[in-house]
Amino acid sequence: MIDARRLRTLRAVADHRTVTAAAAALYLTPSAVSQQLTALEQETGHDLLARDGRGVRLTAAGEILLAHADAVLAQLERAEADLAAYSAGIAGEVTVAAFATGITLVLAPAIRELAVTAPGVRLKVLDAEGDASLPMLLDGQADLAVAVEYRGAPRAGDGRLTRVPLYAEPFRAVLPLGHPLAAGEGPIAVADLAAEPWIGPYPGNPCHDVVLLACEHAGFQPRLVHSSDDFTAVVALASAGAGVALVPRSALRGADLSAVAVRPVDSDLATRKVFAAVRAGAERHPLIAPVLAALTAVAERPPGG
């Protein structure tokens, strides 16, 4: 009989590529993780891992077992959700990892929504960058993530996750007032900014990926001269004439725009796609389902509604 706890360990090692990193994610010692993996190999009768440089990789048998592990772990989540629903004590805490703008736009309003629709549900909010919330969810540090699409994100068909689209918001070009394209109201071509110095987020930030994709589609690689994950700082640098930037529309709220021009751009790729995610099967949990419903209701309202 295969121990489901060891399947969780195998999944963590597959995600993190080293025993040490998997142990940290699982709050175990590396020796405990190694012992669980050894026991799992004995249970299955197959070598599941092989060394790969300083890390490890799954063998063919490991990949086969991992696919079944995802299905088993999702079914266990559903079983826990059904048992919790049977108990029907709809009161408890849900930990949500979300990036700052997502907290402002949907999560904080959802807390107000839940006070009416599910007053027994309490949210514990963890501020996490858009690329950090999904690993926190998969590692069990959060029950729900509000995340952003990015190149390295688990794909929509990933069997470990259930995803609920929330909203998409366009990016705006932020230009110094003296820039030749600052005047006007219509969209400007991203390609027309190819020769400019750029200000933008660091690699790893999902917004960095959006900027790169929009520029690559326009036929160039942006010359990123200044880097900051704080969009208030990005706008301040553009105000000083340090360069141009693409910034999510909602991130401009509260920024000092007196010395910049904000223009729409001609690229559909310059869009931040935001979704909620839970571990597959957990969407039926009586504490998590109301949170997903509240997030969806808030996201469907028009701005200011």
Tell which phi-psi region holds residue 304, choosing left (phi > 0), alpha (psi between -120 and 50) or beta.
left
Q: Are residues 173 and 232 in the same domain?
A: yes
Question: Of 42, 60, 83, which residue sits at a domain end?
Answer: 83
**Tokens of residue 57, six digits:** 């990789």
pLDDT in tens, 98-132: 998 899 999 999 999 999 998 888 899 999 977 78
**Tokens of residue 248, six digits:** 């999510």
**Whole-prediction pTM value?**
0.70
What is the C-alpha separation between 35 and 31, in angstroms, rounded?
Answer: 6
Residue 305 lies in a domain: no
Domain count, the chain: 3
Domain of residue 185 covers 168-271
pLDDT in tens, 25-67: 888 888 888 888 888 888 888 888 888 888 888 888 888 888 8
34 contacts 19 by C-beta, under 8 angstroms: yes
- Please report, for the domain that includes residue 45, its CATH number: 1.10.10.10
What is the C-alpha separation between 110 and 104, in angstroms, rounded?
Answer: 10
Residue 42 lies in a domain: yes
Alpha carbon distance, N-terminus to C-terminus of the chain: 54
Q: Are residues 102 and 151 in the same domain?
A: yes
Pairing of strands 271-279, 144-148: antiparallel
- Please report, for the domain that includes residue 189, its CATH number: 3.40.190.10
DSSP at 265: B
pLDDT in tens, 219-261: 999 999 999 999 999 999 999 999 999 999 988 988 899 999 9
